[in-house]
Chain A
């Protein structure tokens, strides 16, 4: 069969796995963006920088405090979320009554400042982070590194848990209600401004968690976020802004599409996502899963 399509199984499945891994990061990042956009009405351009801060957080924790990967997996997202909540309180909260564009400009500026600071202290070249689960299994048709399998499973689990929390829990019903009619929810006695701060912290924490997971796979560098974020925004647009399930499915799906393109037509692999975006926007301007707003 593989002879028929002229591709070695190792290459095909290798790229498929790489696609799933990229998809895992796309999914976690676009999930956070979707939740933030839903409640704050802000397109968070700082998201890539916050992903980078997660990766850097784990690197700094390891090199200065000796915190192992598994500790950083918990601590780094909490720290980055706390920084995010401070940014929301001090800066973003002043923009909610204005047009989307202002939030976009501000968060983009904040991203540049954060990346600039990290570049000033750590340079633009990447730093390696040791693989916490070395080794892998030979499946016959491909070699499966354990850590990469872990990343795919862990991020899928996180996405499903977040979806369940939003769609099935009491706290999630507050979130859905506040996305629809924030004024009325506040008039029922719920502190909506605090909920907004926590939601932003949560979305940012998810980005940082993706960053920690990414550290052992990619180089830890100040610009790692800005590389990824362009694709992630395309994913969000394709999935439909504000749709939680849509962002997860689209994230994994596009990762795989990208991986397969690398096998069959490598020249197009970095543009295929944007091609899909153009086609989807022509046919369904609200995105695959989104309602227009």
Chain B
């Protein structure tokens, strides 16, 4: 099972209007792995996730989900193959209550968590379930954004900078959450700027620059590559 490829991206090019932003991305995520895309702002990490979901319409190359080619599919059809997306801005709906936000993504496959189980993982969301979605704190909104995709039965999670702008104690909680999800067998592709955080949750890392992967290494090799990584990320 762990040898099965959940997500395979090759020769992926992507465009925003006239500008060419992805220049032949190559990467692979095996089932049950947590993999990070590291890189500077504007390197193309978020665009890669959007291209996988089909939200970036101008794209070419190949994106395979569980072996199935998705490059020509609409976002809703990509989602139905078992991919769930948690956007950088968290995507909490202001016109929906916390509970409506939680129940919005439709169940696309069996095996998702029951609502009660999700609330057990995030007791704070149960307390605030009738509040307006955007009235939650930043950390709570991030929890909600992840919580709502755990119900759907999707096994591949695309998480775009889940720790951005959050207090250290909340970042730690997000780290615990990602490790919990990994233990439960979820496959996670994580976009991060903070490689110290990434090193606490990920199996492998890809470094992205100018819309292409320039470096790939296992988490165990992180210390050995620290100098080079610091130079690449400019931190």
Q: Does B114 contact A (CB under 8 A)?
A: no
- Contact among B84, B95, B96, B100 with A188 in the assembled complex (CB-CB below 8 Å): B84
Known A-B contacts A188-B104, A189-B105, A189-B152; A177 and B75 likewise in contact (beta carbons under 8 Å):
no
Residues in A with CB closer than 8 Å to B80 are 189
Task: Tell me the smallest distance from the CB of A172 to a CB of chain B, in Å.
Answer: 9
Contact check, B79 vs A189: say whether CB atoms are below 8 A apart: yes
- Contact among B74, B87, B100, B106 with A184 in the assembled complex (CB-CB below 8 Å): B87
Give the CA-CA distance A173 to B149 in the complex, in Å: 16
Q: Does A179 contact B (CB under 8 A)?
A: yes
Residues in A with CB closer than 8 Å to B79 are 186-189
Q: Does B53 contact A (CB under 8 A)?
A: yes
Q: How many residues of B contact A (CB 8 A)?
A: 25
* Interface SS of chain B: loop
Query: Which residue of chain B lies nearest to A168 when distances are taken between CB atoms in the complex?
Result: B100
Give the CA-CA distance A182 to B232 in the complex, in Å: 36
- Contact among B75, B78, B93 with A176 in the assembled complex (CB-CB below 8 Å): B93
Interface size for chain A: under 10, 10 to 19, 20 to 34, or 35 or more residues? 10 to 19
Q: Report B100-114 residues with CB < 8 Å from chain A CB.
A: 100, 103-106, 108
Q: Report A171-228 residues with CB < 8 Å from chain B CB.
A: 173-174, 176-177, 179-181, 183-193
* Interface SS of chain A: helix
Contact check, A183 vs B55: say whether CB atoms are below 8 A apart: yes
Give the CA-CA distance A189 to B149 in the complex, in Å: 11
Task: Tell me the smallest distance from the CB of A286 to a CB of chain B, in Å.
Answer: 16
Q: Report A55-98 residues with CB < 8 Å from chain B CB.
A: none
Contact check, A176 vs B96: say whether CB atoms are below 8 A apart: yes
Contact check, A181 vs B74: say whether CB atoms are below 8 A apart: no
Q: Does A170 contact B (CB under 8 A)?
A: yes
Q: Report B62-114 residues with CB < 8 Å from chain A CB.
A: 74-76, 78-80, 84-85, 87, 91, 93-96, 100, 103-106, 108
Q: 10 additional contacts, CB 8 Å, given A174-B104, A188-B104, A188-B152?
A: A176-B95, A177-B93, A177-B96, A180-B93, A181-B93, A185-B104, A186-B55, A188-B149, A189-B80, A191-B76
Q: List residues of A whose CB falls within 8 A of some B CB.
A: 170, 173-174, 176-177, 179-181, 183-193
A-B contact pairs, 20 of them (CB 8 A): A173-B104, A176-B93, A177-B96, A181-B93, A183-B55, A184-B85, A184-B87, A184-B91, A186-B55, A186-B76, A187-B55, A187-B78, A187-B85, A188-B85, A188-B105, A189-B76, A189-B105, A189-B106, A189-B108, A189-B152
Q: List residues of B whose CB falls within 8 A of some A CB.
A: 53-55, 74-76, 78-80, 84-85, 87, 91, 93-96, 100, 103-106, 108, 149, 152
